[in-house]
Chains A and B, each alone.
Chain A
Amino acid sequence: MFELTVNGTSRQVDVPADMPVLWVLRDVLAMTGTKFGCGIAQCGACTVHLDGNPVRSCLLTVGDAAGKQITTIEGVGATPEGAKIQKAWLDLEVMQCGYCQCGQIMSATALIKAKPTPTDTDIDEAMSGNICRCGTYVRIRAAIHAAAAA
């Protein structure tokens, strides 16, 4: 039995210690906003925040996450940075298929929290772990700048 704090709510899960948080969220807690894309920390679709830092939930075991604060796309809008990023994403119509975007938004939120006015280089560095097959990078850059200016 592990105790996870997800978006401020405490949840008990009875799963193996090495189970990645990705699958706990999706299959045990029915929170499907966090996406599976590669399973090997290459695509960023599964990004969540662990104590405020962006992490790949596909390789974060529940054992390592227990006792820490997990924030997912379902809860990130409650933070000021998350709300700003989500609004910029809508204003600039960043989304195409949208599948990668929950992860993009989680990474972007963590970025502007750490660096409230990021440069293009900061954005490239912080966001380069998030693949978008639809190719929305041009707008992701613009939306992060817009959120930072908001």
Chain B
Amino acid sequence: MTHMPSRRLFLQAGLAAGGGLLIGLRLPGHNRALAAPEVEPFAPNAFIRVAPDETITLIMSHTEVGQGVYTSACMLIAEELEVGLDQITAEHAPPNNALYADPFLGEQATGGSTSTRAGWKPLRQAGAAARIMLVQAAAEKWHVDPATCTAEHGVVHHTPSGRSLSYGKLASAAGLLPVPKDVTLKPASAFKLIGTPAKRIDTPAKVNGSLRFGIDVQVPGMKIGTVAASPVLGGKLISIDEAAARAILGVRDVVKLDNAVAVIGDHMWAAICGLKAAAPKWDDGPNAGLSSASIVQSLAAASDADGVEAHASGNAKAAIASVTKRLDAVYQLPFLSHAPMEPINTTLHVRPDGADVWLGTQVPPRTQAVVARITGLRPDQVTVHNHYMGGAFGRRLDVDSVEQAARIAKNLAYPVKLIWSREEDIQHDFYRPYYYDKVSAGLDVNGKIVGWLHRTTCSSVMARWLPAGMQKGGKLDPDTVECAVETPYEFPAQLNQFVQVENPGVIVAWWRGVGPTHNVFVVESAMDELAALAGVDPIEFRRRHLGKDPRARAVLDLVAEKSGWGQPLPKGTGRGVGLQIAFGSWLATVVEASVSERGEILLHNVYVVADVGPVVNPDTLAAQLEGGMIFGLSMAMYSEITHFKGRVEQSNFHDYRALRINEAPKVHVHIVNNPNAPIGGVGEAGTAAASAPLANAIFAATGRRLRRIPFATGQLSQA
């Protein structure tokens, strides 16, 4: 189990440039991989500015990718600062690892469903401290006892004398006061804003088209380009027909890199036509022979031997050696592309003395560093203008496209916006790894699990993205066993192993729901198979194996009730259940699905019961669970990246298919009220929860057990 470390109050205050109160605070990060370093001296990574013009701004190190974090962070501050949500604006922080680093990740990054969890306490403390200082400033001005003053909606009142002053008028005086030592936070019962379905602050501009995503950036003098990189990773550009490209009306430049070519024009259409005319020819290089079949073969072969031990309790191998009923199953999850709706893009202006970068990124400092490295500039000469992202799902934690853009833009004297086609995006993604998981488990005569063996074979994202996060001397990638080592269940003997296999032609990356999206599918599928083996109802079977965790039991019981578990269904329809503890949240899910005679899978209803501890914004929470569930079901139904002759075979939404509205189930979300527990994350929980209950529902409907994702691409029509 992972817990948020309890931390002392880390605040610093002072006068803001241009007057007003500036409060710096530290948002602790959360990363499963790293031990918590006590970082000293104080380095704030978020700032609240109360300006004389009455504006209140939160400068956030975490970025908005659609999860509503700006709104929930502002709600936390506003609650204690006693202002309305409409009085606060959120701003993207510039890249600055010194100021904004997440101390656990060691850098400024957004991911892992941590943003709201990280801010839960510190943001409220900062809001409260600011309020106390503003009240203090008013009290000193009026020569009254601060205890006789109250703050409300951005104004301090002294009721006995009927005087009042706005925060803006008090801000500069407050900036000279010391930070209060003790800050008492409101009890949950006194919350006015937290726990209410507040409106998101970023939506009005999204509804009328005025919000600018990275791809919408317009800079004076800017040209637009598009890129083709070698279709095989590691391949090289041999030749292009540059004359043909330049002959296209509107084409301005053609830039050749060793492994890619870019055509730049007055508009995207000129660039697209120019790139087509350039008809690049490639030398496929060393990975020309790569194929999905060979990758799976190598994973299967490697999975035969013991791997690095991630967890061992009891002697699981011995425990299942002599049982009468045992399960030996292989579960497979394919490579996945992120395919966020906003295609990859970077706008860059490289000059001899500096550079500007406009884009939406989850990692501003990595962006800055890579542009500096490629252009030879110092990082402080590179300005990153971060933008709202049209989805990311982990894709914008990598900066390969920024590196490519910098290599191109440094040849050009003008600002250039480089946009990847959807085909380029799907075929040059960094992919979620292919997981090949073996589970063996045995039942005793009473239908209880006596031993559990789970071996994951895959390549490691951690080893590439954050080598410091590897454990056991660099041998264990903890992400690959998250939610496999810690399940909601107690087994008398349990062994978890990780076997690392790297495939040269494929780069792997974080993908929404990370480790849990992989392991919850495996664990919850295997639990269902064992329930069937024991002849016990799947929910009852889970109950019998729960540890001493009342929250798991509560969500499981509630989902049974909400979903009408056990009540009759039409023939061909089934219910499947899943249970998980991931990202600090407890989720139980029931999927109701049917399978037609032809083998089509139809999704009807999904019931999600979530206990996430305190709820900041119940509406955002429900939205994240609904969306995360649809995203996860999309994956379970359709998503798969395959390779042949070194190339990715999929290219766009007609073959890297996403769930559409006519295929989407109704999603019913129920939130358990648990305000005093530690706060959990939700951005990824729904995605992790989706696939196992669907597999289990298909089993209930048909008796067919699907152990390989995706389900809907023909597995059921094959005999």
Interface residues of A (CB under 8 A from B): 15-16, 19-20, 23-24, 26-28, 30-40, 42-43, 45, 72-74, 77, 86, 89-90, 93, 95-102, 105, 123-125, 127-141
Asked whether, in the complex, the Cβ of B208 is within 8 Å of the Cβ of A95, the reply is no
CA distance A89 to B419 in the complex (A): 29
Residues of B within 8 A of A28 (CB): 267
**B664 CB-CB contact with A under 8 Å:** yes
Using known A-B contacts A42-B652, A97-B391, determine if residue A30 contacts B207 with beta carbons closer than 8 Å: no
Residues of B within 8 A of A98 (CB): 66, 202-203, 206, 211, 388, 390
The listed residue (B65, B206, B422, B659) touching A95 by CB distance below 8 A is: B206
Asked whether, in the complex, the Cβ of B660 is within 8 Å of the Cβ of A99, the reply is no
With both chains docked as a complex, state the minimum distance between the C-beta of B417 and any C-beta of chain A, in angstroms.
Answer: 9
Residues of B within 8 A of A74 (CB): 208-210
Asked whether, in the complex, the Cβ of A40 is within 8 Å of the Cβ of B654, the reply is yes
Using known A-B contacts A32-B216, A95-B206, A99-B341, determine if residue A15 contacts B629 with beta carbons closer than 8 Å: no
Interface flags, B204-248, vs A, CB<8A=1, else 0: 101111111101101000001000000000000000000000000
Using known A-B contacts A93-B203, A134-B391, determine if residue A73 contacts B209 with beta carbons closer than 8 Å: yes
CA distance A139 to B203 in the complex (A): 14
**B67 CB-CB contact with A under 8 Å:** yes
Which chain B residue has the least Cβ–Cβ distance from A128? Answer: B662
CA distance A107 to B389 in the complex (A): 22
CA distance A125 to B631 in the complex (A): 20
| Contact sample, A vs B, 12 pairs, CB 8 Å cutoff | A16-B273, A27-B269, A89-B203, A95-B200, A95-B206, A98-B388, A99-B340, A128-B663, A133-B634, A133-B658, A138-B666, A139-B623
Using known A-B contacts A38-B422, A96-B627, A98-B66, determine if residue A135 contacts B664 with beta carbons closer than 8 Å: yes
Asked whether, in the complex, the Cβ of B207 is within 8 Å of the Cβ of A86, the reply is yes
The listed residue (B212, B390, B661) touching A128 by CB distance below 8 A is: B661
CA distance A42 to B655 in the complex (A): 10
Asked whether, in the complex, the Cβ of B268 is within 8 Å of the Cβ of A26, the reply is yes
Asked whether, in the complex, the Cβ of B631 is within 8 Å of the Cβ of A134, the reply is yes
Residues 174 to 222 of chain B near chain A (Cβ within 8 Å)? 197, 199-200, 202-204, 206-213, 215-216, 218
Residues of B within 8 A of A132 (CB): 341, 630, 661
Asked whether, in the complex, the Cβ of A99 is within 8 Å of the Cβ of B269, the reply is no
Using known A-B contacts A95-B207, A130-B661, determine if residue A42 contacts B653 with beta carbons closer than 8 Å: yes
Asked whether, in the complex, the Cβ of B626 is within 8 Å of the Cβ of A133, the reply is no
Using known A-B contacts A36-B215, A43-B653, A99-B390, determine if residue A131 contacts B341 with beta carbons closer than 8 Å: yes
CA distance A124 to B666 in the complex (A): 12
With both chains docked as a complex, state the minimum distance between the C-beta of B344 and any C-beta of chain A, in angstroms.
Answer: 11
Which chain B residue has the least Cβ–Cβ distance from A141? Answer: B661
With both chains docked as a complex, state the minimum distance between the C-beta of B205 and any C-beta of chain A, in angstroms.
Answer: 8
With both chains docked as a complex, state the minimum distance between the C-beta of B355 and any C-beta of chain A, in angstroms.
Answer: 23
Which chain B residue has the least Cβ–Cβ distance from A132? Answer: B341
Asked whether, in the complex, the Cβ of B207 is within 8 Å of the Cβ of A133, the reply is no
Which chain B residue has the least Cβ–Cβ distance from A102? Answer: B209
CA distance A19 to B271 in the complex (A): 11
CA distance A15 to B634 in the complex (A): 39
Which chain B residue has the least Cβ–Cβ distance from A136? Answer: B627
**B91 CB-CB contact with A under 8 Å:** no
The listed residue (A24, A27, A90, A139) touching B199 by CB distance below 8 A is: A90
Interface residues of B (CB under 8 A from A): 65-68, 197, 199-200, 202-204, 206-213, 215-216, 218, 224, 249-250, 266-269, 273, 339-343, 388-393, 419, 421-422, 619-620, 623-624, 626-631, 634, 652-654, 658-664, 666-667
Asked whether, in the complex, the Cβ of A133 is within 8 Å of the Cβ of B631, the reply is yes
The listed residue (A15, A23, A136) touching B623 by CB distance below 8 A is: A136
Interface of B is mostly: loop
Asked whether, in the complex, the Cβ of A16 is within 8 Å of the Cβ of B341, the reply is no
Residues of A within 8 A of B199 (CB): 90, 93
CA distance A62 to B407 in the complex (A): 33
With both chains docked as a complex, state the minimum distance between the C-beta of B345 and any C-beta of chain A, in angstroms.
Answer: 9
Asked whether, in the complex, the Cβ of A37 is within 8 Å of the Cβ of B627, the reply is no
Residues of B within 8 A of A35 (CB): 213, 215, 341-342, 390
Asked whether, in the complex, the Cβ of A105 is within 8 Å of the Cβ of B662, the reply is no
CA distance A33 to B218 in the complex (A): 13
Asked whether, in the complex, the Cβ of B212 is within 8 Å of the Cβ of A32, the reply is yes
Given contacts A27-B268, A33-B209, 8 further A-B contacts (CB under 8 A): A23-B268, A42-B652, A95-B66, A96-B623, A132-B661, A133-B631, A134-B341, A140-B661
Using known A-B contacts A93-B199, A133-B658, determine if residue A27 contacts B267 with beta carbons closer than 8 Å: yes
Asked whether, in the complex, the Cβ of B341 is within 8 Å of the Cβ of A135, the reply is no
Which 9 residue pairs spanning A and B have beta carbons closest together?
A33-B209, A135-B630, A99-B390, A97-B66, A98-B206, A27-B267, A73-B209, A32-B216, A135-B627
Which chain A residue has the least Cβ–Cβ distance from B419? Answer: A36
With both chains docked as a complex, state the minimum distance between the C-beta of A51 and any C-beta of chain B, in angstroms.
Answer: 20
Asked whether, in the complex, the Cβ of A137 is within 8 Å of the Cβ of B664, the reply is yes
Interface centre among A15, A138, A139, by most chain B C-beta atoms within 10 angstroms, is A138
Using known A-B contacts A35-B390, A97-B390, A98-B206, determine if residue A23 contacts B66 with beta carbons closer than 8 Å: no
Residues of A within 8 A of B390 (CB): 35, 97-100
CA distance A101 to B210 in the complex (A): 12
With both chains docked as a complex, state the minimum distance between the C-beta of B269 and any C-beta of chain A, in angstroms.
Answer: 4
Which chain B residue has the least Cβ–Cβ distance from A36? Answer: B343
Which chain B residue has the least Cβ–Cβ distance from A16? Answer: B249
CA distance A33 to B68 in the complex (A): 20
Residues of A within 8 A of B266 (CB): 27
Residues of A within 8 A of B215 (CB): 32, 35-36
With both chains docked as a complex, state the minimum distance between the C-beta of B622 and any C-beta of chain A, in angstroms.
Answer: 9
With both chains docked as a complex, state the minimum distance between the C-beta of B602 and any C-beta of chain A, in angstroms.
Answer: 12
Asked whether, in the complex, the Cβ of B210 is within 8 Å of the Cβ of A96, the reply is no
Asked whether, in the complex, the Cβ of B269 is within 8 Å of the Cβ of A20, the reply is yes
With both chains docked as a complex, state the minimum distance between the C-beta of A133 and any C-beta of chain B, in angstroms.
Answer: 5
With both chains docked as a complex, state the minimum distance between the C-beta of B615 and any C-beta of chain A, in angstroms.
Answer: 15
Residues of B within 8 A of A20 (CB): 269
Residues of A within 8 A of B213 (CB): 35, 99
CA distance A135 to B202 in the complex (A): 18
